[in-house]
Amino acid sequence: MDAPLIDVVRTFGPLMQMGLPDERPGVFVKRDAVHTVQDCGVVKRLVFKDQSSLDVRYAGPCSDLYNE
């Protein structure tokens, strides 16, 4: 039996699907885990609350990628 849409949204709603700058498959990122975003043009560096980072392809504004 399929899960109701509301359950799917609750489970996966906080996740963002991001493309990586190279040819590797994309990743899912929890928006709440992102501390800041460094703008490097089309590539954005997500800096997480644990100070680790991940470069992703994203042409939009940095404010889309984390909760201020």
The per-residue DSSP string of 26-48 comes to: -EEEEGGGEEEEEEETTEEEEEE
pTM for the full predicted model: 0.77
pLDDT over 70 at 39, yes or no? yes
Q: DSSP secondary-structure letter at 2? A: P
Mean pLDDT calculated for residue range 27-39: 92
- pLDDT score of 16: 85
Supply the mean pLDDT for the chain: 85
